[in-house]
Amino acid sequence: MKQVVIKMRLIILLSCMVTLLGLIICNYRYTIPLKKAPFCKNCNVLLISLDTCSANHMSVYGYGRETTPNLTALSHDGILFENAHANANWTLPSHVSIFTGLYPFIHKITRDDGSYLNLFLLLLPEVLQKNGYETYFFAPKQEANIPPIHVYNRGIAHWDDMYWDYRQNEKTYLLKALKQLDDNSKNNKKTFIFYHTYACHGPYLIENQPLLYTDNKIPSLPLKDVEVFNKVLTDDYYNYLLKILPGAIKNGDFRSAPKKIETFLYQLQHASNLNEAKQIYMDAWENKFWGETIFSDYQENFRYWNKINTKKIEDVLYIQALYDQRIHTMDTELFATLREVRSTASWSNNTIIIITADHGEEFMDHGYLSHKTLYESNVHIPFIALIPGMTKKTINEHIQSVDMTPTILDLVGIQNSFSFDGISLVPLLYGGSLGDRLILAEGQPDAQPDLLTIREGDWKLFVHKNPDKTFLPYELYDTKSDPGEHINVLVSNIDKAKQMIQKYNELKENLFIKQ
């Protein structure tokens, strides 16, 4: 009798275990589906980064102006991620997060001060190269925000540097990249191409195009590249330059420049008269020993941004219309070309195309112009993936830039033991869910060095990082009911803010342990 009871108990226990295991498996299948074969093993990868292109200004994401008809058409063949977020609001740290799968506070490339990326941190092209890929960067090699010496110096076999010229030759530039892809595919070479464009980036110059979205004008605002960037420098410009140089030096504007710039700056500041200052400047320009782009920024500020009165709504609406026109022009030149070539290209059946951005742009939505804050205009980015064999799909879950590298490696079937802060988005393609997690973004170190946002679902919390490593929450938004982030509900939800900070602290601690 005793043995019978024992057997019955064992049978009941075994039955319960089987039932429990079945529930776990069912739940596992729903949240993160079981591992399947790679979607596109050994496929080529074309990663396109639209610098400074906000999803909030793209019609493919519901913007009122029809700015991206060709991108919308492309998205009908792919995966549209509706809620993709940048992990930083400016180019350098955001792109490094894309290529490493790490948050800015982990990879530590947050300033253009010449810091080298840690040798133990792998870059996406480096991983792909080690797995037999030919790797190409179609990107500005002279740009401090995409530094080939300090950061992108591993795994990139070929650089094609057309720099600012491709603002006027977008189609030509893209066709060159696509021809490389075509040539490699015909020779059975697995290929990774990073294509970067400044087409959306300010200044919003439209050259000889008619105004598309406005009849308003700022008469003094130039619309042509040659009117902003040229060597004809007036006395007013030199006086402006000499006036702001002391502050610029103090703020570290020149920290990424060669040491020789110190001599130049000293000579310029101590010139006995304006004519001598002009000669010193032109000598430096001709010799290019300090990097032409540094002073291009000052020309741009003097000749363009200083012409805009941000307190006048007419001025703000005008430059916003110019920005939207730049996006439309990019769509016409870049994505119309991509659609046309892809429709007949032999590589289309074995090439993954990912279209994204490093950050967006804002137009006094919250008191700033350009991309200074961490509001959605700046961190809501496009993310569209065209994957051979995948039909149209829209995904609503919140994702972030650090997810791109693990996703690409998963898609092409590269098994890895790398430590990423992001996660593969492939489960979403199977209809699964990633579950609750935090989405993080950091502010510019010069503009807002202690700013951090923590997103959990539709809740978005702004905090200041104190010197004692504690956090001061100061804004909380329910972005579902308030997508424009105008109603601060922190006071009535302080417990939620504390809970989010606690989760962030736990996440950060685990990440440092993992590293």
Q: Is 79 helix (H, G, I), strand (E, B) or coil?
A: strand
Cβ-contact 476, 490 below 8 angstroms: yes
Q: Percent of the chain scored above 70 by pLDDT?
A: 85
What does the alpha-carbon distance between residue 214 and residue 231 come to, in Å, rounded to a whole number? 31
pLDDT at 249: 67
pLDDT at 465: 85
What does the alpha-carbon distance between residue 126 and residue 131 come to, in Å, rounded to a whole number? 9
What does the alpha-carbon distance between residue 243 and residue 224 come to, in Å, rounded to a whole number? 26
Span 61-84, pLDDT tens digits: 999 999 999 999 999 999 999 999
Cβ-contact 160, 136 below 8 angstroms: yes
Q: What's the rounded mean pLDDT across residues 209-236?
A: 89
pLDDT at 23: 35
Q: Which two tokens stand for residue 276?
A: 């001598």
pLDDT band at 24 (very low <50, low <70, confident <90, very high): very low
What does the alpha-carbon distance between residue 454 and residue 497 come to, in Å, rounded to a whole number? 9
pLDDT at 272: 80
What does the alpha-carbon distance between residue 307 and residue 217 come to, in Å, rounded to a whole number? 12
Q: At residue 371, what is the residue type? A: H
Q: What is the DSSP pairing of strand 383-386 with strand 393-400?
A: unpaired
> Is pLDDT at 22 greater than 60 in this prediction?
no
Span 457-505, pLDDT tens digits: 999 999 998 887 789 999 999 999 999 999 999 999 999 999 999 999 9
Q: What's the rounded mean pLDDT across residues 325-342?
A: 96
> Is pLDDT at 10 greater than 70 in this prediction?
no
Span 85-101, pLDDT tens digits: 999 999 999 999 999 99
Q: What's the rounded mean pLDDT across residues 351-373?
A: 94
Highest mean pLDDT among 8-17, 447-456, 495-504: 495-504
For 17, how many CA atoms within 13 A lie in the half-sphere containing its CB?
Answer: 6
pLDDT at 251: 67
> Is pLDDT at 189 greater than 70 in this prediction?
yes
Element (H, E) at 50: strand 44-50
Nearest one of 117, 130, 121 to 101, comparing CA atoms: 121
CA angle 133, 422, 111 (to 5 degrees): 85
Q: Which two tokens stand for residue 120?
A: 């133990």
Helices 274-287/260-269 angle, 10° precision: 160
pLDDT at 511: 78
> What distances in angstroms separate CA 304 from CA 204, 210, 248, 301, 363, one per listed residue?
9, 19, 18, 5, 15
> What distances in angstroms separate CA 488 from CA 70, 481, 482, one per listed residue?
37, 12, 9
> What distances in angstroms separate CA 54 from CA 39, 50, 186, 207, 215, one per listed residue?
29, 9, 36, 22, 23
Tell whether domain 44-204+311-432 is in CATH 3.40.720.10. yes
Q: Bigger pLDDT: 153 or 273? A: 153
pLDDT at 301: 87
Average pLDDT for the chain: 86
Q: At residue 462, what is the residue type? A: F
Q: At residue 313, what is the residue type? A: I
Cβ-contact 85, 439 below 8 angstroms: yes
Q: Please state the domain extents for the chain.
A: 1-31, 44-204+311-432, 226-307, 450-515
Q: Is 284 helix (H, G, I), strand (E, B) or coil?
A: helix
> Is pLDDT at 15 greater than 50 in this prediction?
no
Protein fold of 450-515: Arylsulfatase, C-terminal domain (3.30.1120)
> Is pLDDT at 212 greater than 80 in this prediction?
yes
CB within 8 Å of 17: residues ≥ 6 apart: none
pLDDT at 56: 97
What does the alpha-carbon distance between residue 469 and residue 210 come to, in Å, rounded to a whole number? 52
> Is pLDDT at 38 greater than 90 in this prediction?
no
pLDDT at 256: 52
Q: Bigger pLDDT: 513 or 297? A: 297
- Per the listing, tokens 């790490």 go with 102
Q: Which two tokens stand for residue 362?
A: 């804002």
Q: What is the DSSP pairing of strand 438-442 with strand 451-456?
A: antiparallel
> Is pLDDT at 152 greater than 50 in this prediction?
yes
pLDDT at 385: 97
Nearest one of 67, 82, 145 to 329, comparing CA atoms: 67
What does the alpha-carbon distance between residue 12 and residue 9 come to, in Å, rounded to a whole number? 5
> What distances in angstroms separate CA 131 from CA 59, 126, 135, 151, one per listed residue?
37, 9, 11, 20
pLDDT band at 229 (very low <50, low <70, confident <90, very high): confident
> Is pLDDT at 431 greater than 50 in this prediction?
yes
What does the alpha-carbon distance between residue 319 and residue 57 come to, in Å, rounded to a whole number? 13
- Determine how many CB atoms are found less than 10 A away from the CB of residue 275: 11
Alpha helices in 202-252 (DSSP H): 225-228, 235-250
